[in-house]
């Protein structure tokens, strides 16, 4: 029977050569093993030298293999450490956020306590306070500046009475109900307060600008005594406000006066104290009523 035409002519020769080479390598390996065995029995010292030389010859290969294994292990260990670190970072971020929330709450409580202590101290210093209440509202964007407090006629509040906080003068009562009153703030355009420059004792007049700031002018025309940082307080002139109640702090000098900011702000004070008129006999009822109706 004729061989198939698709059979390649060199196929059998290559297979035979590969088989022969494998056989030769096997025989050489067996003979080498027998020779080394005989050498270890007949000449142990010579065998030790040969074994040491073989160890030296294979050391680079062993080192390379160890390095590859260590690198692979390091990669897997590093990946594991990376994921562990990511989990730990996430947990730390959650703890940080929780601590930040606690700090914010603690700061809010601290500020509330400070306001309460200041108000308590102010009540203790005030000899004849009429009533103390919370500030429950104030106008921020309106050109007229008012605040609403939680005391009224039922608590002895009368129109025209001064209102202050722990930090300074807020204004005066211009309207009242039984349990609430409306206060015209010192920043309102219709509120003018006689004052003095504490640094020099010079008499000044303050008036609101309607934008949250206060205009301060000296009574003596032609000189400007103000400096940034100066404190303006009530002078007691006119008999409405008791003297030395802080009103404002100067922030910049103008041509014939200065611009100041109030020391007491409704959104920062929290509590307000209504005081009696400083010297009622010096206050004409008619002007007070007219100012209250502005």
Give the highest mean pLDDT range of 33-42, 81-90, 162-171.
Answer: 162-171
> Can you give the length of the chain in residues?
294
**pLDDT attached to residue 281:** 74
What whole-number distance in Å separates Cα of residue 182 and Cα of residue 171?
Answer: 10
Percent of the chain with pLDDT over 70: 65
Q: How sure is the predictor about 292, in pLDDT bands with cuts at 50, 70 and 90?
A: very low
Q: How sure is the predictor about 106, in pLDDT bands with cuts at 50, 70 and 90?
A: confident
Q: Residues 187, 145: contact at Cβ < 8 Å?
A: yes
Q: Which of the pair, 236 or 82, is modelled with greater confidence?
A: 236
Asked whether the predicted pLDDT for residue 242 surpasses 80, the reply is yes
First to last CA, the chain: 131
pLDDT, one tens digit per residue, over 42-92 is 666 665 666 666 655 655 665 666 666 666 666 656 656 666 676 778 788
**pLDDT attached to residue 188:** 94
Give the highest mean pLDDT range of 23-27, 115-119, 158-162, 268-272.
Answer: 158-162
Q: Which of the pair, 268 or 206, is modelled with greater confidence?
A: 206
Q: Residues 265, 139: contact at Cβ < 8 Å?
A: no
pLDDT, one tens digit per residue, over 121-137 is 444 444 578 999 999 98
């Amino acid at each position: 029977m004729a061989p198939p035409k698709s059979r390649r002519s060199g196929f059998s020769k290559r297979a035979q050569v590969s088989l022969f080479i494998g056989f030769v390598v096997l025989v050489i390996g067996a003979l080498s093993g027998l020779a080394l065995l005989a050498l270890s029995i007949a000449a142990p010292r010579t065998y030790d030298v040969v074994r040491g030389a073989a160890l030296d010859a294979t050391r680079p290969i062993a080192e390379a293999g160890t390095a590859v294994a260590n690198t692979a292990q390091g990669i897997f260990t590093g990946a594991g450490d990376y994921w562990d670190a990511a989990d730990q970072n996430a947990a730390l971020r959650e703890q940080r956020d929780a601590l930040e929330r606690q700090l914010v709450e603690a700061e809010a409580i601290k500020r509330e306590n400070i306001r309460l202590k200041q108000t308590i101290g102010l009540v203790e210093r005030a000899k004849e306070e009429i009533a103390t209440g919370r500030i429950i509202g104030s106008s921020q964007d309106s050109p007229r500046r008012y605040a609403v407090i939680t005391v009224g006629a039922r608590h002895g509040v009368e129109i025209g009475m001064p209102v202050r906080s722990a930090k300074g003068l807020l204004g005066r009562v211009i309207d009242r109900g039984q349990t609430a009153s409306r206060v015209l703030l010192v920043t309102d355009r219709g509120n003018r307060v006689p004052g003095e420059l504490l640094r020099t004792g010079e008499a000044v007049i303050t008036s609101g600008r309607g934008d949250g700031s206060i205009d301060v002018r000296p009574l003596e025309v032609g000189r400007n005594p103000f400096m940034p940082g100066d404190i303006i307080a009530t002078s007691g002139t006119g008999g409405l406000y008791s003297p030395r109640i802080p009103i404002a702090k100067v922030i910049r000098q103008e041509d014939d006066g200065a611009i100041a900011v109030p020391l007491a702000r409704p959104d920062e004070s929290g509590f307000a104290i209504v005081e009696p008129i400083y010297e009622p006999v010096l206050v004409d009822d008619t002007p007070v009523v007219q100012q209250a109706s502005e």
